[in-house]
Amino acid sequence: MRSAAGIGLRAPHMAAFERQRPATGFLEIHAENYLVHSPLLAKVEGLRADYAFSIHAVGLSLGSVDGLDESHLARLARLVKRLQPELLSDHVSWSIVGGHYLNDLLPLPYTEEALEVVVRNVGRLQEKLRRQVSVENPACYLRFSHSTMSEPEFLGEVARRSGCGLLLDVNNIHVSAHNLRLDPQAWLAGLPGEAITEYHLAGHAVNDADGEPILIDDHGSRVSAAVWALFADVLQHFGPRPTVVEWDTDIPALSVLLGEAAQADRVLAQREVSDGVRAA
Amino acid sequence: MAFALRELQSVFVAHLVDGERPELIAAVAGDSIPAAARLRVHRHHLFDSLAIALAATFPTVQRVVGEDFFRKFARLFVAANLPVQPVLSEYGANFAAFVELNESVHALPYLADVARLDWALNVAFHTADVSRLEPAELEGLSMGALAAAPLPFVPGTTLLHSAHPLDRIWAASQPAATEGVILDGNGARLLVFRSGEDASFLALGESEGVFAAALIEEKTLEQATESALCADPAFDLPKVFTRLLAAKLFAATQHK
């Protein structure tokens, strides 16, 4: 798939897509919004002929000790079969325990035990869907003292052992680095670039945590200047990939979102030009 | 303390929902931002995001009670009823029962029925659409064949019976509404169904409600008409049948 920038397709923009078919690299949808029949699913199917698609799941809970929910997995498999997306992903996190779904991408300790759980679950997912999936680095607000690996080491091992790809969320790198006092450059240096299949960009909020600023991955604003700069660094490290701009709260006019994607396209194109110059 | 992953995840959910677990706080690295404050980010997200999901499914309830009250009330529901799976349009099946059980919190005797209406609209919206029965399909059918035919409504259809004027409460709570509603003691029977690209409802009279209930129970047209006539000898079959047919409430016969 071409390393163009696309957007997360959200319900308020559906009518504009149906009417105008605006140009964008590709469309990414959240799987869980399309697992039941609704007029929205029919609309997405109607767009399929004109756009490349990515299905981004948020609810598989790849870090759950109890394994994947097979009925949820079966529903996802049906959606994948219907839409035949070019890209497919979920997160390195957990959200289900004891039959409760917590609607959050909760942090894992980066231990051998957690690694085996994620690898097993990603393996089951890829086996069921009979294709490679990618897993995304989460936005972190805390880390566990008993972690034995860094996050890049953990992600790299998940990719190596399961054969999955990595979806690099650049905003999440920035958010986690700030919240956990990490050096984003060192973080990038620890990652196996060949496993990366896709990038995400989004805005974040700054909240107060007992008097200290904490960054929240709320997908509710423009991509920050710091994240654009980090995106350029990411491209320098790993090269261009398909890139999605996500916006989920305080969703703006479609033109604003497409403008952010156009900016991402410009950064991707600059990288391709300079790569080309270097190759020549 | 190094938790096994299963134990860590169980303590994590307990910490978010039931209150602080010191052993979890001790397992989280703290610095200038204390561990408890870091964990609070996840607690806020859990409750806020699920309250927002409930507001999307129960928009009329939120409009009736206001956004602030709805958020607080939804948090009570979330604490006692975490989702069991990740499709949030399926979350809240027991919200109306919770609203009914907690009437002392909101003091609105009709609010549970408003929640039932929102849920029925949500179910109808999220049901796969099917072809509708067209009047042409009935042409050439003998009266006898028609009377004996089961006439299923489109999938996702719900009949609601409320002691309150639910249709007027719904209308008065729409963003463009200009008039309030007088709670005059009249109830309502609403047939909620998938209509085009949305979900909608029809208000029925008493005997019409009996008729619709019989069709939902897969009675034939003849049996449903008998039940309705029992409830009210003035039941007007052609009138209600035409109305239901025009609203495209019947599934096409090939979907029987």
- CB-based burial, B208-217: b 16+ in 10 Å, e otherwise: bbbbbbbbee
In a shared domain, residues B147 and B104: no
Judgement on whether residues B188 and B249 belong to the same structural domain of the protein: yes
B147 and B233 inside one domain? yes
Q: Please name the residue ranges forming H helices in B19-65.
A: 22-27, 35-57, 59-65
CATH class given for the domain over A5-279 = alpha beta
Q: Which of A35, A37, A113 sits opposite B5 (nearest CB)?
A: A113
| pLDDT for B256 | 40
Average pLDDT over chain B, rounded to an integer: 93
Q: What is the CATH number of the domain that holds B151?
A: 3.90.930
**How far apart are the CA of B114 and the nearest CA of chain A, in angstroms?**
22
Let me know: does A6 contact A257? Beta carbons within 8 Å.
no
Chain B residue with minimum CA distance to A148: B2
Q: How many domains does the structure of chain B reveal?
A: 2
| Interchain CB contact of A58 with B (< 8 Å) | yes
Q: A266 vs A5, A223, A234, B122, B207, CA distance in Å?
A: 9, 14, 15, 41, 66
Instruction: Tell me what percent of the residues of chain A surpass a pLDDT of 90.
Output: 93
Rounded percentage of chain A residues whose pLDDT exceeds 70: 98
- Tell me: the pLDDT tens digits for B84-113? 999 999 999 999 999 999 999 999 999 999
Closest CA of chain A from B113, distance in Å: 24
Residues A19-77 pLDDT 10s: 999 999 999 999 999 999 888 999 999 999 999 999 999 999 999 999 999 999 999 99
In whole angstroms, give the CA distance from residue B256 to residue A98: 40
* Confidence at residue B182, expressed as pLDDT on a 0 to 100 scale: 81
B175 and B93 inside one domain? no
CA-to-CA distance for B94 and B104, rounded, in angstroms? 18
ipTM for the complex shown: 0.95
Structural domain including B142 reads 128-256
In this structure, the answer to whether residues B159 and B228 fall within a common structural domain is yes
The DSSP symbol for B255 reads G
- Give residue B230's pLDDT band: very low, low, confident or very high (50, 70, 90): very high
**Assigned domain for B199 exists:** yes
Q: How confident is the model at residue B220, as a pLDDT?
A: 92
For residue B253, the distance in angstroms to the closest alpha carbon of chain A comes to: 21
Chain A contact for B11, CB < 8 A?
no
Residues B190, B229, single domain; the answer is: yes
Give the tens place of pLDDT for each residue, B40-69. Answer: 999 999 999 999 999 999 999 999 999 999
* Position B64, amino acid: V
Average confidence (pLDDT) over A169-178: 98
Last-in-domain residue among B73, B108, B143: B108
Phi, psi for A260 (deg, rounded to 5): -65, -40
Mean pLDDT throughout B245-254? Answer: 88
Please give the pLDDT value at position A280: 58
Looking at the structure, do residues B44 and B9 belong to the same domain, yes or no?
Answer: yes
Residue A274 scores a pLDDT above 90: no
pLDDT confidence bin for B129, thresholds 50/70/90: confident
In a domain, B114, yes or no: no
- Based on the fold, state whether residues B26 and B82 are members of the same structural domain: yes
Q: Say whether B13 and A98 touch across the interface (CB within 8 A).
A: yes
Residue type, B25: I
> For chain B, how far is it from start to end, CA to CA, in angstroms?
61
CB A118 within 8 Å of CB A62: yes
Rounded Cα gap, residues B148 and B76, in angstroms: 49
* Nearest CB to B5; choose among A65, A71, A179: A65
A117 interfacial to chain B (CB closer than 8 Å): yes
Gap between the Cα atoms of B33 and B41, Å rounded:
11
Spatial separation of the C-alpha atoms in residues B206 and B187, rounded to whole Å: 9
Domain ranges of chain A: 5-279
Are B93 and B115 in contact by the 8 Å Cβ rule? The answer is no
The residue in chain B having the minimum alpha-carbon distance to the alpha carbon of residue A71 is B85
Contacts of residue B197 in chain A, CB cutoff 8 Å? 39
How many CB pairs below 8 Å do chains A and B form together?
Answer: 133
Contact between residue B156 and residue B195 where contact means Cβ atoms under 8 Å apart: no
Tens of pLDDT, residues A40-53: 999 999 999 999 99
Residues of B whose CB is below 8 A from A108: 5
Whether B219 maps to a domain, the answer reads: yes
**Measuring CA to CA, which residue among B245, B246, A271, B56 is closest to residue B74?**
B56
Between A78 and B183, residue with greater pLDDT: A78
Instruction: Please report the pLDDT score of residue B2 as a whole number.
Output: 75
Does A270 or A230 have the greater pLDDT score? A230
**B20: pLDDT strictly greater than 90:** yes
Residue B44: the pLDDT is 96
Are residue B132 and residue B226 in the same domain, yes or no?
Answer: yes
Q: Is the pLDDT of residue B173 over 70?
A: yes
String of DSSP letters for B93-148:
TTHHHHHHHTHHHH--TTHHHHHHHHHHHHHHHTS---PBPPHHHHTT--HHHHHH
- Candidates B6, B7, B8, B47: best to mutate against A (most CBs of A within 10 A) is B8
Q: What is the pLDDT of residue B148?
A: 87
User: What confidence score (pLDDT) does residue A279 get?
Assistant: 63
Within a domain: residue B169? yes
Query: pLDDT grade, residue A269 (50/70/90)?
Result: very high
The secondary structure element, H or E, covering residue B244 is helix B237-246
Does any domain span residue B118? no
Say whether both B25 and B85 belong to one domain: yes
Q: Which residues pair with A87 in a beta bridge?
A: A54
- Cα nearest neighbour of A60 on chain B: B86
Q: Are B188 and B223 contained in the same domain?
A: yes
Q: Are residues B132 and B200 in the same domain?
A: yes
Residues in chain A: 280
Does a structural domain hold residue B120?
no
